[in-house]
A and B are shown apart, each in its own frame.
Chain A
């Protein structure tokens, strides 16, 4: 298995908010976390919210310290995510079709009598 770094930016938290203040990181560099685990608590002018992790992986870098103000769309955290090395390489457009080992069917045939 190889690793690939993926950076997650501060999402649009809605209602036209353009930035958020980091209150408390709930992960540290080196932690391995699951998808949807609590990642960071941020405060906007409306409220404080906990952002869940969009990925499972190992935390490589936190791009903001506590009390920093982060604009929407700026880097928040970088994960190292495991990728399968032998996975077929997709084109830039479309997906690699999945091969069924044994294709499904509903129609049965009756052999001809001749």
Chain B
């Protein structure tokens, strides 16, 4: 297959271009707005400003203010509007500007978006993709570094996904918006500026599959969002010590790829789950339970969790201590190796 190296402003499909995650998401939104006249992009500052992280830059100019538009600063209204639009045949892609401000919209998300299909016996599907800039790592103020994946994964009726790099962000957004189910698409803010080659092609992996980012045989590191990059760093350092770590990017947090987890851990016999959210009742507990249920006999050590702490998300200067550090992950790996 011939690979075309194109400039970032190309619209040629299947090209490989170097894009930041911001640009990759922007590109996917352009594809979606072009292919489907029912797709609408809206939220606080997504129109005239182009988004506080430049993710929707230029979209209003290209597609007009009827399809890409600013809303009042009212998260509940944004999601309520998405429900009404979806019931009338549109395919809304709302943005809630920051994770911590999704809470005012939880009533709409949990009580309306997630249930409408069930409540109407399929008469009113909710093909809504909520874009939610998520997680920490950019030293932002309070309410700008939250990890809400466990809350949404616990809500029946929602799909939840967290991309880890620009290529993933591109294809997972295409899949999310084209899905007739509501999807919470969690964008790792700390990776927005990460630039990598992106193949602009159609998604091939089905919804709900994980991917192996780096193969290894001594233990599996399970992560999503920005923690995938952290785990790759850990795996590179562990390799210096002769320890080969497999890095599994879970990416879909609902539905979770139980089979993919089991296949990896059955090979490596050890697992460490890494997430930014607090430990107690975090998604790491779900991952650990699935691994234990599916490969109990293969396990050489209990599944370890390396997470944020059970405290409110801290102020910027304390972030490096709160988020899982390389040494905390390495210590957890050592515990599984020595068990």
Contacts and interface: CB of A to CB of B under 8 A. Distances in A.
Interface of A: 88-89, 91-97, 103-112, 114
B218 interface: yes
Contact of B326 (A88, A89, A91, A105): A105
Interface stretch (B34-42, B169-177, B330-338): B330-338
Contact of A109 (B52, B53, B140, B241): B241
B337 A109 contact: yes
Contacts, number: 70
B131 interface: no
Given A92-B52, A96-B193, A105-B327, A111 B241 contact: yes
B300 interface: yes
A105 B230 CA distance: 12
Given A91-B138, A93-B98, A94-B144, A105 B52 contact: no
Contact of A110 (B52, B140, B192, B334): B334
B237 interface: yes
Interface in B54-71: 54
Contact of A114 (B243, B300, B327): B300
A88 to B, nearest CB: 4
A107 to B, nearest CB: 4
Contacts of A112: 218, 243, 300, 337
Contacts of A89: 54
A105 B241 CA distance: 12
A25 B220 CA distance: 65
B72 to A, nearest CB: 18
Given A107-B331, A110-B334, A110-B338, A91 B192 contact: yes
A91 B337 contact: no
A3 to B, nearest CB: 22
B243 A109 contact: yes
A41 B300 CA distance: 73
Contacts of A93: 52, 98, 138, 140-141, 144
A110 B192 CA distance: 35
B139 interface: yes
A105 B234 CA distance: 9
Nearest to A113: B337
B119 to A, nearest CB: 36
B206 interface: no
Nearest to B320: A97
A70 to B, nearest CB: 33
Q: Nearest 7 A-B pairs (CB), nearest first?
A: A94-B138, A94-B140, A107-B330, A109-B241, A88-B193, A91-B53, A111-B242
Contacts of A103: 233, 237, 326
Interface in B67-120: 98
A97 B138 contact: yes
B150 interface: no
B136 to A, nearest CB: 9
B300 A95 contact: no
A95 B190 CA distance: 9
A36 B241 CA distance: 48
Contact of B138 (A96, A104, A107, A110): A96
B337 A111 contact: yes
Nearest to A89: B54
B139 A110 contact: no
B4 interface: no
A111 B243 contact: yes
A111 to B, nearest CB: 4
B137 interface: yes
B139 A94 contact: yes
Contacts of B289: none
B189 interface: yes
